[in-house]
Structure 1
Amino acid sequence: MSIAKPIPTIITGASEEIGGVVVPSMKPGYEVIHFTLAVEAATEIPLLLKGEVPTHSSSSLGSGNWSVFPKVILFGRAYNNEVGV
């Protein structure tokens, strides 16, 4: 029986504290390759989708496994008119 590989994912959220709970809870079905803070998502996500890693990442969470291209981007509740994202 074959075990499916986890789906490579980027997640955005308000804080690393929240990400620290969300990232491990995504296993085993998803591999969070990068977690980005919401305020930096507009800068970081386009770079990541071009295969470039931001020089100064907003978060250290995630596997950093860029040998696979992300198939999913999940946006947390940090997005509203006040944040401007």
Structure 2
Amino acid sequence: MSSFTRPMPVVACGKIPAMGKSISQHMLPEYEVIHFILSYEAAEAELPRLLAGRDPQSRSPNEIGTHDYSRPPRSVIFGRGYEPQQVEELKKKFAGVAKEPVAWVRGNPADLPAGAAGPDYAQNIAADMKKVLQIWSDGGGKDGEILVY
């Protein structure tokens, strides 16, 4: 990535703030988490504004992400705490809101760690997310199926 390339803005949806913060840091420098959403209900309320390139006016703001809404997100990433059908519902509900194609990415709930996550968990998850987003980008960055990491 050249020094002139800005990171791709993404929205992250997770259930555990500490994990979201750590993963957000590991997504840099290629991807910038601009906003972190903690629940399905918040995603329903905030994604339409985010995808349209506007401040989500969150009712439950947090310190995760840059909160730079000057560029709309090119990806919405869901952690493994979200069920596949929830991601599908949100993708269908907000199809056509964004001006540019958006990668919808979700984790596989079957891959949740048993017990506490190990020390490299966030770094490994971020690496998996980056791989999926790079494949999407290399393929032309078009709207399509939900990607799974």
TM-score w.r.t. length of structure 2: 0.49
Offset of 1:61 from its aligned partner? 0.8
Q: Which has the larger radius of gyration?
A: 2
Q: Give the letter for the 1:63 counterpart.
A: T
How many matched pairs?
A: 83
Give identity over the alignment, percent. Answer: 33
Task: Give 5+ residue unaligned stretches, structure 2.
Answer: 87-149
Distance 1:7 1:55 in 2: 21
User: Is 1:44 paired with 2:46?
Assistant: yes
Three-state SS of the structure 1 residue aligned to 2:60 is coil
Deviating above 4 A after TM superposition, structure 1's stretches of 4 or more consecutive aligned residues are: none
Q: CA deviation at 1:60?
A: 2.5
Richer in helix (by share) = 2
Q: CA deviation at 1:35?
A: 0.7
Higher relative contact order (Cα pairs below 8 Å, separated by 6+ residues)? 1
Q: What is the Cα deviation at residue 21 of structure 1?
A: 1.1
The gaps in structure 1 that reach 5 residues or longer are: none
Larger strand proportion of the pair: 1
Provide the rounded CA distance (Å) in 2 between the counterparts of 1:42 and 1:15. 18
Aligned equivalents of 1:68 and 1:47: distance in 2?
12
Render the CA deviation track for 1:25-73: whole Å, top value 9, x for unaligned: 1000001110111332122212322314224234331101111111111
Which amino acid in structure 2 is aligned with residue 48 of structure 1?
L
